[in-house]
Amino acid sequence: MALPNTVKDYLDSQKLPYRLISYPSKGTLQQITEAIRIPSSRLIRAVLLRDEQGYLMAILPSNHILDFSLLRQLLARDFHPLYGDELTGLFKGCQPGSRPPLPGLFDLPAVIEDSLAVLDGEVYFDAGSHDTLICMSSANCWILLKEISWGHFSIPLDTLDLLQKMANTTADFMEVTSNYVPRQLREIYRELPALPAAAHRILELRANPKIGQAGLANFIRDNPTLMTATLHYAGSPLYARQASNKVNSVDEAIAVLGMDVTAGLGFAASLGRTFTIPPDGPLGRRAFWRHAVYCAALVRELGRSLPDTLYLQPGLVYWSGLLHKFGYLVLAQLFPAQFFLLNHFLSANHHIPVEQLEDRLLGADHSQIGAWLMRAWNMPKEFTAAIRWHKMEDYSQPYAEYANLILIANRLLYSLGIGDAGTDRLPVAIMSSLGLNKEQVLTAFARVQEGHDALEEMSRALAA
C-alpha cells in the first residue's frame, strides 16, 4: 500500500481519522468493490469536468452515472468531461489515472451528489495510487468536504434508462436525442456505406503483387505524415529482424514490412479519410487508431509463436487486429449524434461496459455493425469473425483463432490503458487451444512495447 505524500500531508493536516485499504491494482470499480467486499454505493469517485468558466470536480457514488442534463439544470452550465492528457497536472503527486475526491487539496471547485448524504458508516475513495483506498466515516468525510455544495446530478445504474435519461449538455442535442427510437437492425443494414474507392484500390494492389508495390508506394508518398510514420515503423525494433540497415525509402519500407502490413496501413488510412469521428474521448479518433495500431502489432507478434498446424495467414492476422474495432467508425458515420453522446458519457462514466451503453442507445453494438460491413464489402470471412467475436472468450466456431488472438491482445493492452477489455486476466483456455503459453504471450507483449515510439507515431499519422 502507498499513500502519496501530498495526500498524506493534506489528510493529516485535517486531523480526521482514516485508514488505508489495499485492493487489486487492476480491474473495474465493480471488481474492486467485490474484492474488498463493500457495497459499490460506499465507494466514492471523482469526475473532472470543464466549461468556458473553468474546472469542476463532480463527486458521486461509483454505482451512479453522471447525468449532464441534471448537472446543467443544477448549475446552469454546459460541462464536458476531461479525458486522457487533459487531466495531466491536475492531481499533483498522484499516480497517473488516480483521482482522489479531495477538491480542497487540488484547489478545484466541486459539487457532491445528494444521495451520498444518506450514507451512514464508512465510505471509501481513491488515495492517489493504484492499490490503496482511503476509508473514513461518512461523518468525517462530509466534514472534510464541508465547503462543497451538494446537489442532484447523477442516476443509479440499476434504474438507468438511457433512452429517456441521457441527454447532451446543449439544448440542440437534447432535442435531437429526446425523440430518438433505435432503428431496426435491417434499417441499419440498408444504410451501411459503400467501400471507399481508395480502400478498394488498396485491396486491388494487395491482390496483385506485381503492380501492387509501386501503386502502394505512390499512395503512401501522397500522404507525407503516413510516409514518415511508415519509414520509422519499418525501422523500429518490431522489424529489427527484417531491416538490417536504416530504412530510407518507401520501397525499402514495403520490403521490410511486407505487402500485407503496408497495405493494411494504407487501407486504414483510406478509411480514416472517409469516416469522420470526433478526435477526443475514449472512442475518439486518437484513441481508436492507437488501439488499432497496437492491437495489429501485438496479434502479429502473437501469431509468430503459433504452431504451424493452425495454418493462420499472417496478413489476415494483422488486418484483423487493425480492423477489429471498425464498427465504431460506422457508428460515428451513421449515428453522429448518438455516437457523440456515447463518447461523451463514457468519458465521465468509464466504469460502465461500453456494450451496455451501445445496446441501450442503438440496439446494436459496434462488433455487430462492423461484421455486417465486412460481409457487405465481401471482405475475408476471417475479418468478419474477428470483428464480431473478439470479446467472446468461449467462441470456437470457424476462424475463431483470429478472434481469440485479438482477445488475448486486448487483455494485454488493457494493462497499458489501451482499449476497453475491462480486464487484463489472460484467458488460459484460449491460449492453450492456440498452443501458446504465458511466456510466449508475455515475450510478444514485450517486443511490442519496445516499438512504442513507432507505434505512437503511426497511430498519430492515421488519426491526423
Of 41-50, 61-70, 113-122, 351-360, the least confident:
351-360
Tens of pLDDT, residue by residue over 280-333, are 888 889 999 999 999 999 999 999 999 988 888 888 999 999 999 988 888 887
CA distance 396 to 416: 27
Pairing of strands 122-126, 54-61: unpaired
Query: pLDDT band at 182, cuts 50/70/90?
Result: very low
Contact criterion met (CB below 8 Å) for 421 and 414: yes
Place of cell 455544495: 149
Domain 185-463, CATH among 1.10.3210.10, 2.40.40.20, 1.20.1050.140, 3.20.20.70: 1.10.3210.10
**Cβ neighbours of residue 299 closer than 8 Å, sequence gap 6 or more:** 317, 318, 320, 321, 405, 406, 409
One-letter amino acid of 433: S
Packed helices 209-221 and 197-207: angle between N→C axes, nearest 10 degrees:
140
Taking the domains of the chain in order of start, what are their residue ranges? Answer: 5-160, 185-463
Query: pLDDT band at 102, cuts 50/70/90?
Result: very high
**Which cell numbers hold the place of 417?**
490503458
Contact criterion met (CB below 8 Å) for 384 and 375: yes
CA angle 332, 333, 335 (to 5 degrees): 65
CATH topology match: 5-160 vs 185-463: no
pLDDT at 150 over 50: yes
Portion of the chain with pLDDT greater than 70, in percent: 86
- CB atoms < 10 A from the CB of 158, how many? 8
Pairing of strands 122-126, 64-66: unpaired
Nearest to 427 by CA among 387, 396, 381: 396
Tens of pLDDT, residue by residue over 8-60, are 999 999 999 999 988 766 556 666 777 778 888 888 999 888 888 999 999 99
Tens of pLDDT, residue by residue over 242-263, are 656 678 889 888 888 888 999 9
Contact criterion met (CB below 8 Å) for 133 and 37: no
Domain 5-160, CATH among 3.30.499.10, 2.30.30.140, 1.10.260.40, 3.90.960.10: 3.90.960.10
